Amino acid sequence: MAGLRAIVPLLCLLLPQPARAGGSAAGLEEEDGVLVLRAASFEQALAAHRYLLVEFYAPWCGHCKALAPEYAKAAAKLKAEGSEIRLAKVDATEESELAQQFGVRGYPTIKFFRNGDKAAPKEYTAGREADDIVSWLKKRTGPAATTLTDAAAAETLVDSSEVVVIGFFKDLTSEPAKEFLLAAEAVDDIPFGISSSADVFTKYQLSKDGVVLFKKFDEGRNNFEGDLTKDNLLNFIKSNALPLVIEFTEQTAPKIFGGEIKTHILLFLPKSVSDYQEKLDNFKSAAGSFKGKILFIFIDSDHSDNQRILEFFGLKKEECPAVRLITLEEEMTKYKPESDDLTADKIKEFCNKFLEGKIKPHLMSQDLPEDWDKQPVKVLVGKNFEEVAFDENKNVFVEFYAPWCGHCKQLAPIWDKLGETYRDHENVVIAKMDSTANEVEAVKIHSFPTLKFFPAGSGRNVIDYNGERTLEGFKKFLESGGQDGAAADDDLEDLETDEETDLEEGDDDEQKIQKDEL
């Protein structure tokens, strides 16, 4: 679900500057063990290295800065193992022709090149921690599951990553073993091993065929039970590969949003409070009852990087600790507990009521300003939206915006002029609504700015605008009754989306056309 890959905006992490560049055996520039490539050296790198993972980055990109230490750590790990896989990076703002050649539309974009083939590099799709990168690369360059010939090999694999899956089969050609290998091929970011060795069976206390997920958190291991099929194994892994409670960070975001569990409950908890551990323990205690159904996430509400997430849920730092639940299906829906009690029993009760369909969605709204209708552009909030937008006697043109959105800032003076143009019109209303702080059931906003027209009449019709964002374009649209510039069903939006925009302050001219595809 690409549209949900970081649906909660992330701020940049300010990381230390990289070590000074050096050189590689092939004479290529290096920085922290990562090859630094330019247009002039790209072909040389492809020729010198059979397997090459290349990150296209922007120096100002927050997600790129957060990835940098993990990327370097992955490079060091592979080098220590004597791997022929190399990691490289390209400053796409400097090497724009390379970026264009490989279809770079956002930062970071990571592509895997095999045997120097530039025609169809593989897009990197896994997590952004070193172990994720290494596991994904090993899956792309070796067998789906490593054959473990003895207990020492098994122990080395188990120690190598946060999560490891091992299949124990006395006959490696059996149907269950084949199903296991199919599951291994389907999972990018977890290393798999397979063994028929009696020593390995004995070391891990198995007397018959089975599958075990080893992890460096919670229970430590989970034994698969049931009919051993690919789908059942994938469900087993999905339910057990993440911690019962996972902290939201730049590195864990891909695992959180890229996972199969699309219902998330979030605990906004400042790490500075005296009862931090007690509240986190209560949250974890509740989580066990909803394994595989609801993902439990906690967010340090004191951390500056997380302030946008609080805004997204309409929370202020002083209101934390607090709990919210969100479903990340086709339409995002938020839910708020009736009680502020954060005991395990209350959290369980809230989750159970949600699963039973007994909780109504929570729609945010700011208070209605006293002067909301005094300016040419009327101010809408959740509380007055229905009354204004669906007024049967008015044609209402609304901009749904985000205060931090660069495109919205560019549009603002044009929208103000449009308001002035129709200030005294008898039935045209120009309005705007901050969609980061206000939500309405009738309209779901996925990108900023979104422009919608609510024509007069009793039909509650809504027309999307997809024409030119100019004063003349807007006037033609309104004078045509919402026809000239209306979006067709198959129109592709070129908008700055809340889940894809890199949020670091920087060069507006450059950033306004770039999307960070987390």
pLDDT 10s digits, 214-264: 999 999 999 999 999 999 999 899 889 989 999 998 778 878 887 778 999
pLDDT tens sequence for the chain (518 residues):
333 333 333 333 223 333 334 445 457 899 999 999 999 999 999 999 999 999 999 999 988 999 999 999 999 999 999 999 999 999 999 999 999 999 998 889 999 998 898 988 989 988 888 998 998 998 888 898 999 999 999 999 999 889 999 999 999 999 999 999 999 988 878 999 999 999 999 999 999 999 999 999 999 999 999 999 999 999 899 889 989 999 998 778 878 887 778 999 999 999 999 999 999 999 999 998 998 899 999 999 988 888 888 888 888 888 999 999 999 877 788 999 988 899 999 999 999 999 999 998 888 888 999 999 999 999 999 999 999 999 999 999 999 999 988 899 999 999 999 999 999 999 999 999 998 889 898 888 888 999 999 999 998 999 999 899 999 999 999 999 988 877 754 443 333 333 333 333 333 333 333 333 32
Q: What's the per-residue H, E or C state across 287-311? A: HHHHCCCCEEEEECCCCHHHHHHHH
- How far is it, in rounded angstroms, from Cα 298 to Cα 294? 13
Phi-psi region of 460 (alpha: psi -120 to 50; beta: other; left: phi over 0): left
DSSP classification of residue 440: B
List, by residue number, the catalytic residues: 61, 64, 405, 408
CB atoms within 10 A of CB 322: 19
- How far is it, in rounded angstroms, from Cα 6 to Cα 436? 15
pLDDT 10s digits, 459-471: 899 999 989 999 9
